[in-house]
Amino acid sequence: MALEDFAAEMDRCSQCSYCKWIPFDHIKSWRYAKNCPSVSYNNFNSYSARGRYAVARSLLKGQSGYSDKVRDIVYKCMTCGSCDVSCKVCRFNLEPLDMVRELKFKLVEEGHVLDEHQTIVESLDKEHNTMLQPKTGRGEWAEGLDVPRLFSKEAEIVFHAGCRFSYDRDLWNSVRSAVTILKNAGMDVGIMGEREMCCGGRIYSMGYRNEFVRFAESNIKAWAKAGVRMVVTSCADGYHAFKRLYPRLGFQVQVMHVVELLNHLINEGRLVLRSEIPMSVTYHDPCHLGRQGEPYVPWDGVEKKIKSQIIVYEPKRPRYNGAWGIYDQPREILKKIPGLQLLEMERAREYSWCCGAGGGVREAYPEFSMWTAAERIAEAKATGAEALVTACSWCERNFMDAIIAQRDAMKVYDIVELVQEAI
Amino acid sequence: MTMPKNIYKALEGIVGPENISDDPAVLDSYRYSLAHTAIHLGPFFDTFTPRGSAVLLPGSTEEVQAIVKLCNKYRIKFKASSTFWSAQGYPSEDNTIQLDMRRMDQILEIDEKNMFAVIEPGVIGATLQAEAMKVGLNTHIPGAGCSCSTLAGATSYFGSGPSNLYGGWHYDNLLGVEWVMPTGEILRTGSLGAGCGWFCGEGPGPSMKGVARGFIGSKGAMGVYTKCAIKLFAWPGPTTLPVEGIVPAYKTSLPDNFKAYTVAFPSWKSWADAVYTIWDTGVGYIAHRQYSMFGRDLKFAMIKILTDPTKTLGDLEEILDDPEVQKITEESKRDFQIVLAGMTKRDIEWQDKALDEILSRTGGWKVEAMNEPEINKWMLLYLIRLGHKNLNLVFGGSYDGCFGLLGSADFGTSHVEEAAEFKKRWEKRGAVVEAGGDCMMGPIGGQGGGGTCLWENFTCFDPYDRDSIEGTLEFFDACTELGLERGWGVGMEKWNSQARGPDGRIAPKEERDRIHLSAPQPDIFRYQHKIRKAFNPNDLGDAYYETLDDS
């Protein structure tokens, strides 16, 4: 795809501004009605999906150039996809999230990049992670765990820790717990250790499509060499990359997020949650696990019209609108933990508010990123919950940082930590 | 032309550097595509409203006032908009400053006892409704849907919608207003001006509410409304709408004091008789001919798609082939939707019985397929929240209403078949969606009735397809011609053409004068000219406040 391929959508966007709000049916208050951090923080229309369609058209038609403002508009999008969900309440022939991604690709291809992103990409090239850390340290999180390292040993399942979990020591407990739980449940699981590479999802959302493809192909090749039959990850970004993006490159191995697998093990009785955790929690749906966590459906078709002017696709085009993301499994797990009370935030599931860490925003615009996280924390606190639980390392880190900055006392957990505690 | 630096600096000093921009890309995100018809104007292929000279995001009345005073000093045109529903919210002349009012988005007060809310421009129908419901109240949501500014609908435009029946049009609902007039003075209308609060829209002397709003509003051409109070009405339901279902097939289960029906009739005469009787008996909370916007032939098939998250438009043809769908489509040809809300158990029982009696007397029936729980709960939520309004645009991205039969129930129903047949013939030419001709959508009016049945015959087309656009425009011209010939008046497809021309800019004065002189009472526009001269001496608004200066 190229930005030019979205020219029709740029005209067909009805400029209705649904992209600025959660689906209206779900609005429960004035306070938590908005969905798009970008336009909520920056206010100008240009920072919404409808505005970005207009900006893209303006660029394509040569009516405006690549100013600093344009870079600001384009890169201050977390590609969280909430606009996409709201748009598709009424539209079947617009793909605002794909368009915004394409706009980022265009800016990168034309060389209008951000230094903060460029630093990450350069480090990624050399060290194979987005954390600006040496690749030799990638497997340290698993030290002391009795888990086979591929390729020297074989395993049916590869557990992909992801960049953030691999290098953020505060979060190690989660991935160490995940591997331990899976092993104890009898799963044949191994890790790549220092051979593990970034999934590429983070740089994809910054606009570096070609670099993403390189990493995706390397990972696909490595897993094929290791002979794994399933990839399991605790990282929501990784899950999205493996589940939705890799199949476009021919990847066919089964992918599961750890919450799917844990829920499956609990339902099968292979994992029993016995210990009481007397705590009230609220669950934050990570964008890449929830609305962007729908499975990939191959499609190669064309637009056609029926009834003279109704736009459809031949063959029928799969519809990604967040309906079929991973929402129930984490909630089912939390409900099965004795003593734990689950309270829902006003914005949940497909219309969840983003944590603020995505799309390269955390790296390039920390103030905006922290504001976005703080908004979510305020919403979490409004439920009366004592803790905020999520299933993504990037969300967890952003929330933790925002809580520290606010000198707040709210606790943040990865769901796996609670499962481990409840076993 | 770029704005002189000293003026930009002065404006920046008012709103702060983060709330002003003249970057071309930002400015281009404040241009409206006239391929979308801009609500009853075009459509015109690849045409946009003019690029403003700057966009400002004021955060308070004081800032708005300072901006307007500066505009007067330098004779700069300005245009304020809150939620940008149509071209009318955007500049129609070059070198105009666009005010985006979204930062002023507070619900300042909900006066539960006196049943009104005080709001700023950025408050939308959905958020006001959600907050009002917490205290047992509701707000009227105009036909543009709950995404739109309540203040804009109440002060500056039509403000008509499905809940007209019980909640009233916004020209009735508007109470006190804080108005930054075109000169920069602040006028507080009604009781507010007397320091007595927001509760009344009128004060001593001639109606300032009438000057500011009248029937249809000044559409952002006469200053900026920065706050207003709006009447609320009773909500006998839960404090939060309980929503279930998978996107986009959201639905709600409400207590038994709510009922939603689709009713249909054997003839248009009986349809109109039922409406008159509904007005007379005072039953009903919301009443609208809603899903006919998809077209007489497509409406039930579309409902099947919209209530099943696994379906898309790609399933439409297959669904249309289903004989059961065809049967229901035929059965609901002359229909409308009605929501009953009982304030007590006895009330809902009585309303339900009264509706049955009305149907019995007029030969009407309830469309049973619409009572199927999944569809019924979806319809109920749809009509209460009006959060799927942009299904108007579902087919190809654009729509506009033609004809616009505004009048008594008899008026619309007397002409609907002729208008539908006319459209059907044009549909066959291929420029617009083949929907069955009758796509007449609109409210059935307010309790007490009379003159408030507004229907527009939806015409859907593809804004990216030149043939579709040009064919639609040709059709709209033909509609206007037919409307004039048949004595229905100029249709809504042309309502704004006196203000804005095909290039997205203001129509030339000669053209505007020609149209206003051909109106039944040109004097109205002469009077408006005098009002405008008095209130807007520096002529800083656009032609949406319509005037005739032929002295």
| Residues of chain B contacting A107 with CB distance shorter than 8 Å | none
Domains assigned to chain A: 133-267 (3.40.50)
Average pLDDT, whole number, for chain B?
A: 94
Do B213 and B286 lie in a common domain? no
Within a domain: residue B501? no
Residue A350 Cα, gap to closest chain B Cα (Å): 8
pLDDT attached to residue B404? 78
A295 preceded by a cis bond (ω within 30 of 0): no
Determine the residue of chain A that is closest to B315 in CA distance. Answer: A316
Within a domain: residue B503? no
Determine the residue of chain B that is closest to A39 in CA distance. Answer: B102
Written as six digits, the tokens of A215 are 């990493």
The answer to whether A225 touches A249, Cβ cutoff 8 Å, is: no
B498, pLDDT greater than 90: no
> Average pLDDT of B267-291?
94
CB-based contact (8 Å) between B319 and chain A?
A: no
Within a domain: residue B500? no
Do B362 and B323 lie in a common domain? yes
Within a domain: residue B66? yes
B488: pLDDT confidence band, cut at 50, 70 and 90? confident
A151 preceded by a cis bond (ω within 30 of 0): yes
Determine the residue of chain A that is closest to B244 in CA distance. Answer: A26
Written as six digits, the tokens of A359 are 């799309």
pLDDT attached to residue B1? 55
3-state helix/strand/coil string of B68-136: HHHHHHHCCEEEEECCCCCHHHCCCCCCEEEEEHHHCCCEEEEECCCCEEEECCCCEHHHHHHHHHCCC
CB-based contact (8 Å) between B79 and chain A?
A: no
Do B261 and B218 lie in a common domain? no
B336, pLDDT greater than 90: yes
Do B366 and B430 lie in a common domain? no
Q: Which A residues in the span 326-385 are in contact with B, Cβ-Cβ below 8 Å? A: 350-351
Among B364, B387, B410, identify where a domain stops. Answer: B387
B349 Cβ neighbours under 8 A, 6+ residues apart: B342
B450, pLDDT greater than 60: no
CB-based contact (8 Å) between A33 and chain B?
A: yes
| Distance of alpha carbon B522 from alpha carbon A358, whole angstroms | 59
Q: Rounded to 5 degrees, what are φ and ψ at A82?
A: -70, -30
Q: What percent of chain B has pLDDT over 70?
A: 98
Written as six digits, the tokens of A355 are 């944590």
Do B441 and B550 lie in a common domain? no
pLDDT attached to residue B499? 87
| Distance of alpha carbon A173 from alpha carbon A200, whole angstroms | 24
CA distances from B20 to A124, A157, B7, B59, B105 (A): 37, 54, 12, 11, 18
Within a domain: residue B426? yes
Strand partners of residue B287: B338
Output DSSP code: residue A20: G
CB-based contact (8 Å) between B107 and chain A?
A: yes
Among B186, B214, B234, identify where a domain stops. Answer: B234
CB-based contact (8 Å) between B135 and chain A?
A: no
B58, pLDDT greater than 70: yes
Query: Number of structural domains, chain B?
Result: 5
Q: Which A residues in the span 230-249 are in contact with B, Cβ-Cβ below 8 Å? A: none
| Distance of alpha carbon B500 from alpha carbon B219, whole angstroms | 13
> Average pLDDT of B239-247?
96
Neighbours of A204 (CB within 10 A): 25
Q: Rounded to 5 degrees, what are φ and ψ at A109?
A: -60, -30
Do B114 and B95 lie in a common domain? no
Interface test with B, best of A44, A61, A314 (most B CBs within 10 A): A44
Nearest to B84 among A17, A21, A307 (CB): A17
B451, pLDDT greater than 70: no
Do B329 and B413 lie in a common domain? no
In a structure prediction context, what are the per-residue pLDDT tens digits for chain A, which is 423 residues long?
899 999 999 999 999 999 999 999 999 999 999 999 999 999 999 999 999 999 999 999 999 999 999 999 999 999 999 999 999 999 999 999 999 999 999 999 999 999 999 999 999 999 999 999 999 999 999 999 999 999 888 999 999 999 999 999 999 999 999 999 999 999 999 999 999 999 999 999 999 999 999 999 999 999 999 999 999 999 999 999 999 999 999 999 999 999 999 999 999 999 999 999 999 999 999 999 999 999 999 999 999 999 999 999 999 999 999 999 999 999 999 999 999 999 999 999 999 999 999 999 999 999 999 999 999 999 999 999 999 999 999 999 999 999 999 999 999 999 999 999 999
B42, pLDDT greater than 90: no
The answer to whether B432 touches B505, Cβ cutoff 8 Å, is: no
Do B251 and B383 lie in a common domain? yes
Query: Who has greater pLDDT, B182 or B490?
Result: B182
> Is B390 within 8 Å of A312 when comparing Cβ atoms?
no
B448: pLDDT confidence band, cut at 50, 70 and 90? low
Q: At B21, which CATH number?
A: 3.30.43.10
Strand partners of residue A282: A343, A388
Do B260 and B135 lie in a common domain? no
The pTM score is: 0.97
Q: At B147, which CATH number?
A: 3.30.465.10
CA distances from A260 to A69, A80, A325, A328, A348 (A): 41, 21, 11, 9, 18
Helix, strand, coil shares of chain B, percent, nearest 5, are: 40, 20, 40
Q: How far is CA A163 from the centre of its chain?
A: 13
The answer to whether A2 touches A60, Cβ cutoff 8 Å, is: no
Do B264 and B381 lie in a common domain? yes
Do B172 and B199 lie in a common domain? yes
Within a domain: residue B209? yes
pLDDT attached to residue B138? 98
Give the DSSP H or E segment for A280: strand A279-283
Do B287 and B310 lie in a common domain? yes
pLDDT attached to residue B452? 62
Residue B264 Cα, gap to closest chain A Cα (Å): 25
| SS3 of residue A386 by DSSP | coil
B32: pLDDT confidence band, cut at 50, 70 and 90? very high
The answer to whether B444 touches B358, Cβ cutoff 8 Å, is: no
Domain of B550?
A: 508-551
Interface test with A, best of B18, B19, B23 (most A CBs within 10 A): B23
Within a domain: residue B362? yes
Among B101, B127, B153, identify where a domain stops. Answer: B101
| Residues of chain B contacting A29 with CB distance shorter than 8 Å | 127, 130-131, 134
Within a domain: residue B25? yes
| Distance of alpha carbon A367 from alpha carbon A385, whole angstroms | 25
| Residues of chain B contacting A312 with CB distance shorter than 8 Å | 312-314, 316
